[in-house]
Amino acid sequence: MAPLLKDELDIVIPTIRNLDFLEMWRPFFQPYHLIIVQDGDPAKTIKVPDGFDYELYNRNDINRILGPRSSCISFKDSACRCFGYMVSKKKYIFTIDDDCFVAKDPSGKDIDALAKHIQNLLCPSTPLFFNTLYDPYAEGADFVRGYPFSLREGVPTAVSHGLWLNIPDYDAPTQLVKPRERNGRYVDAVMTIPKGTLFPMCGMNLAFRRDLIGPAMYFGLMGDGQPIGRYDDMWAGWCVKVICDHLGLGVKTGLPYIWHSKASNPFVNLKKEYKGIFWQEDIIPFFQAVTLSKDCDTVQKCYIALSQQVREKLGKIDPYFGKLADAMVTWIEAWDMLNSSSKEADANGNAKGK
């Protein structure tokens, strides 16, 4: 049997090192096309195991392809992965970090994380009414008594957010006070994040419908030359969730698990995060209060409207947010330059003329 979505999905991997970790993933990833985004020194040669179908982009390639608009792609930060989303031409994206290994379920069987993400994306979401038995479309589950029949069709799923065994995705202060904590809890559940609820999105085990939400999956300005790091995926997640809520799309979290193999240095992380830790106390209320007009009927229009509100409201906190708002606009310009020449996707993934 051919692998699911073999010709419709790209795997995007940001890296600064040889990709030996792919050997472990070979049974699951080999049939798919990989887009590798090399961060750091473009003169360094990244080795990819034999037998994988891939394209690799370094900073020189990004500058060549995007020209002056390459300024929106972060340097020396895994946020550079979103360049891979932009150059892909596929309907689905799965992105994973190079320190994420194959996890085992409680029975000891290897978890095919990609297959589970695909299953999540191909099933509807239920953001408008919470099902207490979690995902009603899962085998052995259904809608519970009292669930409105008018809402049981659900909405298209735009994002599948997976979790991690072993090293949890903690911020630096939590890492410092719990240096030996490991996650050994395998929770066999997938749930839709309710409409109006934000969440901290982690980019190391993530899949999404590029055709539905791709232009909003911008991982911001992080890393080299920026006052903040390690908020790239969370920034994208807040933007994506607000836009999904507006356009009637769903976001799922839970299965699948990967094995996160190594903890990053908490002191280095604290240096990257400390402004974000303060700023998020204003950023979260901002996203909770954001409204988008009915005219915002495509992801691109939503994202540009969001960038204007970022400039207006968050710009008062720090000049960085003015730069970020500019980069959000540049990102959309670059996306449109590389994709479907002046067409936008509506909430059903259909191309719309501007």
pLDDT tens digits, residue range 158-187?
Answer: 999 999 999 999 999 999 999 999 999 999
Yes or no: say if 60 and 50 are a contact pair by the CB < 8 Å rule.
no
Asked if residue 161 lies in contact with residue 202, where contact means CB atoms within 8 angstroms, the answer is: yes
- Residue closest to 94 by CA, chosen among 155, 170, 192, 25: 25
What's the residue count for the chain? 354
User: Band of the pLDDT at 1, cuts 50, 70, 90?
Assistant: confident
Asked if pLDDT for residue 297 goes beyond 90, the answer is yes
Considering the domain 9-340, what is its CATH architecture? Answer: Alpha-Beta Complex (3.90)
Q: What is the pLDDT of residues 102-152, one digit of tens each?
A: 999 999 999 999 999 999 999 999 999 999 999 999 999 999 999 999 999
Q: Report residue 106 as tokens.
A: 């409680």
Contact status, residue 276 vs residue 228, Cβ threshold 8 Å: yes
Instruction: Give the chain's mean pLDDT.
Output: 95
What is the reported pLDDT for 231? Answer: 97
- Residue-wise pLDDT tens digits, 247-271: 999 999 999 999 999 999 999 999 9
Contacts of 291 (CB under 8 A, 6+ apart): none
| Residue 349: per-residue pLDDT | 52
> DSSP characters for 148-174?
-GGGTT-B-EEEEEEEEEES----HHH
Q: Tokens 């607000």 belong to which residue?
A: 242
State how far the Cα of 341 lies from the Cα of 133, in Å rounded to an integer: 43
- pLDDT of 37 strictly over 70: yes
pLDDT band at 2; cut points 50, 70, 90: confident
Residues 236 and 214: beta-carbon distance below 8 Å: no
Q: Which region among 227-241, 260-274, 329-343 has the lowest average model confidence (pLDDT)?
A: 329-343
Instruction: Tell me: pLDDT of 225 over 80.
Output: yes
Classify residue 147 as exposed, middle or buried by CB count within 10 Å of its CB (0-12, 13-18, 19+): middle
Tell whether the model's pLDDT for residue 329 goes beyond 50: yes
Please report how the helices 232-247 and 299-313 are oriented relative to each other, as an axis angle in degrees rounded to 10: 120
Whether residue 350 has pLDDT greater than 80: no
With 80 as the cut, is the pLDDT of residue 337 above it?
yes
pTM for the full model? Answer: 0.95
CB burial of residue 74 (10 Å; 0-12, 13-18, 19+): buried
